[in-house]
Amino acid sequence: MKIGIIGTGWVAGHHLDAFGKIDGVEVVAIAGRNEVRGRELAEPSGAKVYGEVLPMLERESLDAVAILLPPHLHGELEVVCSEHVGAVLVEKPVSQSMEAAERAHEAFKRAGTLVAVGYMNRYRRAVDVARGVFKADGDPGVMAHGWWITRMPPPMWWRSFEQSGGQFVEQCTHLVDLSRYVFGEIVEVSAWRTGGRMEGVAGFSVDDAMVVNARFASGALGSFCTGCYPLGGHAEGGGGIGLTFSARQHRLVMSGWNLEGTMHCGEDEVEGLPVDEDVFVRQNRAFVEAVWTGDRGLVRSDYGDAMKTLAVTLAANESARERGGAPVAC
């Protein structure tokens, strides 16, 4: 299987490493505006490097492409890819604009494109346990609580609200998506934001922090906190990222980038949750197998489903920025 990569940022390295561990897969081309970085990424595999996407799509015989770009660059590119290749892996979030996402979704549907979205945490074995507990075992979830409070990422686009959509859209989207995956659809949110503490940061227009309350269709509730203000003490591998799911009989506690944690059953039974060595490999292998076999059920987050997560995060922005914290339907 010949794959093309679009984008040369941090996450591109993870996907290249993952594809390199899957038998029968070859990354043959990388397209990105930063051609120096593209050559660095391409060196181990000998992939061709393109400064623009369309020449890569026209000259290479690709079975699939991975679109690994910031939120504001999604939309029209997906439309172009739908016209040249039959399978696409799109990094999350699919956009910072519902209108752009809808255009891409319509293009994929017209072309019959197989699309997977990079919510890689859905492929974790710990999440399989969570779904088994709250769906198969009949212990209805009562509360989901997540937090993503870490240092501000360095890219300039990230600190621009117009480009990233803010931290709840760009990072905490992982926790929102997992909560939907485990507890079901979120139907309403209300949110508050704060700012003014990131003095001296050029181009900063996202929120310092946000708190979001959510109501699930099942009657369960959710709460999320997200912030990019700390200078230290909130490492991604420790207390800066976390998610808990709880019900009458079970409580799952996960933290850190790898979402390591425990499951508490009844009053005193505790067991460790399984940990994955490389969740990008699990995700990308499922995508590759779906392309090979045509079995779209192997993809745990397709484009339409990912748009529902985007709708929740955009509704939170609307509540916090335009409605003074009033509830907004998702």
pLDDT digits (tens, 9 = 90+) for 152-187: 999 999 999 999 999 999 999 999 999 999 999 999
Q: Is 39 helix (H, G, I), strand (E, B) or coil?
A: helix
> In a 10 Å sphere around its CB, with 0-12 CB exposed, 13-18 middle and 19+ buried, how is residue 187 labelled?
middle
Residue 294 confidence (pLDDT) above 80: yes
Q: How far from 120 is each of 58, 293, 295, CA to CA, in Å?
A: 29, 20, 18
Calculate the CA dihedral of residues 98, 100, 105, 106 and round it to 10 degrees: 110
Q: Write down the mean pLDDT value for the chain.
A: 95
CA-based radius of gyration for the chain: 20
Residue 234 in tokens: 């909130």
202 burial class (0-12, 13-18, 19+ CB within 10 angstroms)? Answer: exposed
3-state secondary structure of 89: strand
Residue 237 has pLDDT above 70, yes or no: no
Residue 232's pLDDT is what? 82
Q: 119: exposed, middle or buried (C-beta count within 10 Å: 0-12, 13-18, 19+)?
A: buried
Q: How many other C-beta atoms are found inside a 10 Å radius of the C-beta of residue 140?
A: 16
pLDDT tens figures, 198-217 = 999 999 999 999 999 999 99
What number is the average pLDDT over the span 117-145? 91
**In the predicted structure, residue 312 carries a pLDDT above the cut 80:** yes
- Helices 10-20 & 279-293, crossing angle to 10 degrees? 60
**pTM of the entire predicted model:** 0.96
Taking residue 132's Cβ as centre, other Cβ atoms within 10 Å add up to 11
Q: Residue 27 is encoded by which pair of tokens? A: 């990354």
- Tens digits of per-residue pLDDT, 252-275? 999 999 999 999 998 778 899 999
Residues 6+ apart with CB under 8 A from 299: 114, 115, 116, 286, 287, 290
Residues in the chain: 330
**Residue 211 · residue 172 · CB < 8 Å:** no
- For 197, other C-beta atoms within 10 Å of its C-beta total 10
What is the predicted pLDDT for the residue at 267? 77
pLDDT of 239 strictly over 90: no
CA angle 14, 119, 146 (to 5 degrees): 110
Tell me what pLDDT residue 234 has: 77
What domains appear along the chain, each with residue ranges and CATH number?
2-120+281-301 (3.40.50.720), 123-276+310-329 (3.30.360.10)
Q: How far is Cα 94 from Cα 3, in angstroms, rounded to an integer?
A: 20
For residue 238, what pLDDT is reported? 67
**Once rounded to an integer, what is the mean pLDDT over residues 5-24?**
96
What is the strand order of the sheet 209-216 is part of? Answer: 269-272, 260-265, 250-255, 241-247, 141-149, 221-227, 209-216, 186-194, 328-329
